[in-house]
Amino acid sequence: MRAVTIARNYAEVLLSLAEKAEATEQWGDLIDATAAAMSTPGIEAALVSPRVSKEQKAAIVTEALATAPRPFMHFVVTVVNRNRQLLLGLIADEYRALVDAKLGRVRAGITLSREVDALTKNVITERLAKAIGKDVIAGFAVDPAILGGTIVRIGDRVYDGSVRKRLGRLRQQLIAGR
C-alpha cells in the first residue's frame, strides 16, 4: 500500500476524532507541530531505532504530548506503536487536505516578482477566491526571476501568468515564424 494512502486513512481517523472533540482547526495545528517535532534528528532517531522498545517510544510520545488532548495523544501513540511515525508529516498534509475539502476551501501558492503589501495580498486572495468559487488560503512567495506577473499553484494545477512565460511564448512564436 502506498504511503499516501496509509496517511490518508490515518488522517480520516484523526479528523473524526477532532470532530468529536469539536477542535478541527486546533488539531490541525497540533498534528503539524507534532510532525515537525518528531522529524527533528534526535527524536526521529529514537523513534525509528529498533533498540528503543515500543513501550519506551510510547512513553516518549506521552511525555512530549502531556498537555495535548488525550484522544490526540493516544492517536499519535498508536501511530508510533504501528511503526508509522515517519508518516506523520504526510498524515498532517492529508489531514489539512481533508479539512480544507470539508470546509470548501483550497490552498494556493502565489508567486510574485516582488514583495507586496498586505492590501495587495488581500485583493489577490479575494479575486482568486471569486474566480474559483472557494475560500482561498494563500501562501505568498517572491521570485524576481519571473520578471512580473503572477504564478498560482492550486493542488496539481499551475496558472502561469508571469512575464517570463509570456516572453518565452513570444520567443517561440518568433522562432517558428522564420
Which domain does 71 fall in, by range? 3-101
Number of domains in the chain: 2
Structure confidence by residue, pLDDT tens digits, 110-141: 999 999 999 999 999 999 999 999 999 999 99
Supply the pTM of this predicted model: 0.75
CA distances from 98 to 13, 40, 104, 116, 136 (A): 11, 25, 10, 31, 15
Q: Are residues 83 and 26 in the same domain?
A: yes
Q: Tell me, yes or no, whether 96 and 9 share the same domain.
A: yes
Half-sphere exposure of 142 (CA within 13 A, CB side): 6
| 11 shares a domain with 89 | yes
Residues 86 and 9 in one domain: yes
| Predicted confidence (pLDDT) per residue in 57-102, tens digit | 888 888 888 899 999 999 999 999 998 988 999 999 999 999 999 9
CATH number at residue 22: 1.10.520.20
Residue that finishes a domain, picked among 101, 120, 139? 101
